[in-house]
């Protein structure tokens, strides 16, 4: 009997995205730990020119549908992501990716072919946080009484390419989208 290596979809999607943004021809490579219980990292990005590596921890959430507003002037999001708060000790990982999986908008309106490829049904959104920014964000998660909040969440509309924190330090977090933050990772690896 041969061993079967499995990988959570969130880790596969992040590795695939990083492979696109950090191509092999430029000296980058993506590595996975063989142990699924590896503490502190899910992926390792290596840069050949500097011989430096960055560890990445991935936290994932499925999306939850938003409800339409009851009256005009109220702005709600089409999708929400919900994450459990976690302990972030500086040095565990160099970067954190918050990964969200959501259904494509037109999936219910059109008939899909028999191939049933994941890309035809699902889309994803990824936020890339350097460790210091993640620690600052998590330290800002407080309840109204000042205790540490157990959860945080984000709301977004798929077509807008902007994401907002809906539970936690409020505000726009579009600048943390992985396509916009990849330069931070490249600078770290130089």
Which pLDDT tens digit goes with each residue over 7-65? 889 999 999 999 999 999 999 999 998 877 778 889 999 999 999 999 999 999 988 88
Contact criterion met (CB below 8 Å) for 122 and 10: no
> Domain range spanning residue 70?
9-189
Number of domain units in the chain: 1
- Predicted confidence at residue 106, as pLDDT, reads 60
pLDDT of 112 strictly over 60: no
d(CA 89, CA 91): 6
- Does residue 141 lie in a domain region? yes
Strand, coil or helix: 16: helix
Query: Mean of the per-residue pLDDT values for the chain?
Result: 86
Residue 84, beta-bridge partner list:
151
- Does residue 2 lie in a domain region? no
Query: What are the CA-CA distances from residue 51 to residues 16, 150, 155, 158 (Å)?
Result: 21, 38, 38, 37
Long-range contacts of 170-174, Cβ-Cβ distance < 8 Å, separation of 24 or more: 173/127
- Does residue 19 lie in a domain region? yes
- pLDDT band (50, 70, 90) for residue 110: low
- Does residue 131 lie in a domain region? yes
- Does residue 76 lie in a domain region? yes
């Amino acid at each position: 009997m041969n061993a079967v290596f499995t990988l959570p979809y969130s880790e596969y999607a992040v590795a695939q995205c990083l492979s696109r943004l950090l191509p092999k021809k430029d000296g980058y490579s993506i590595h996975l730990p063989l142990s699924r219980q590896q503490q502190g990292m899910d992926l390792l990005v290596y840069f050949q020119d500097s011989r430096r590596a960055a560890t990445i921890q991935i936290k994932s959430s499925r999306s939850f549908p938003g409800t339409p507003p009851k009256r005009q002037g109220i702005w709600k999001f089409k999708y929400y992501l919900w994450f459990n708060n976690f302990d972030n000790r500086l040095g565990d990982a160099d970067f954190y990716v918050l990964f969200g999986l959501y259904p494509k908008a037109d999936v219910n309106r059109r008939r899909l072919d028999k191939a049933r490829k994941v890309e035809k049904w699902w889309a994803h959104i990824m936020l890339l946080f350097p460790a210091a920014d993640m620690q600052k964000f998590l330290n800002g998660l407080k309840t109204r009484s000042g205790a540490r909040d157990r959860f945080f969440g984000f709301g977004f509309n798929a077509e807008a390419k902007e994401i907002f924190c809906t539970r936690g330090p409020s505000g726009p977090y579009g600048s943390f989208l992985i396509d916009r933050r990849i330069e931070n990772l490249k600078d770290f690896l130089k």
